Structure 1
Amino acid sequence: MDKINMIEKFAVIENYYEPKEAARVNDMAVKMVKLKGPFTWHLHEDSDEMFMVVKGKLTIEIENQESVDINENEFIVIPKGVKHRPNPVEEVLVALFEPADLLNTGNVVNEFTVEKVEKI
């Protein structure tokens, strides 16, 4: 068993919206990602997705609802089937808890899509 320093893991991530896998918990992955600016509107038809803010503030736009701001040491679970878009103004460091094979852009394939998540 190895402990994981999240800040050290974030330090090796160079690109925004390019998640990296830091660990596995059964069939779930702990993915680390740096976010800044608008992502793409998408949904995950068969899976919930948890965003935990490690550093910064994350704004998530949710279809037909007001945006939600998630601050450091807070998290939100986006239920399956809910269309959403991360849109932080400044850089934010986020840990994602989701199925290991979950496509980051859900039902959309575009320039943000990461087909294979690297392990760090």
Structure 2
Amino acid sequence: MNPTPLTVIDLQPETNLVAQYKNIPLALVNDHTVRLSVMTEPFYWHHHPNSDETFLVLEGTLCIDLEGRTVELTPGQLFTIPATVPHRTRPKEGRSVNLTFERADIQTSKST
């Protein structure tokens, strides 16, 4: 999907069509992208050297593994990870759906 201003985006049909991991850019806001993420498997450990990353859960439970702890987010909960902090995201059971807010030019680096 190509983000288009002044367009209504209905999230429900977008998520219903997705059966496996997918990250869909929905909108551009100033220098940030809003993405719809359907997670069906863990994402690898990584960090973003140039951007904070905010997650808002819409469906399921999203686990965010950080060094030393795991944060579990359920629908309606929001959590921000500052730039440079290593993390891994994964659905708790089966699948999670969330909105992600991050810089449009976000860089992702694998963490070890």
Q: Is the 8 A contact 2:53 2:81 kept in 1?
A: yes
Could you tell me how far 1:14 is from its partner in structure 2? 4.6
Alignment map for 1:27-66 (pairs within 5 Å):
27-63=31-67, 65-66=68-69
Change (3 A) 1:95 1:39: same
Could you tell me how far 1:45 is from its partner in structure 2? 1.0
Alignment map for 1:61-76 (pairs within 5 Å):
61-63=65-67, 65-76=68-79
Q: Which residue of 2 aligns with 1:5?
A: 10
Structure 2 residues not aligned, in runs of 5+: 1-5
Structure 1 residues not aligned, in runs of 5+: 109-120
Aligned residue among 90, 96, 107 for 1:92: 96
Residue by residue over 1:7-35, the C-alpha shift from the partner in whole angstroms, topping out at 9 and shown as x without a partner, is 1222344530x311111111111111111
Runs of 4+, deviation exceeding 6 Å: none
Q: Which residue of 2 aligns with 1:112?
A: none
* Structure holding more strand per residue: 2
Question: Within 2, Cα distance between the matches of 1:36 and 1:28?
Answer: 25
Aligned residue among 72, 80, 84 for 1:81: 84
- Identical counterparts, % of pairs: 32
Q: Is the 8 A contact 1:59 1:68 kept in 2?
A: yes
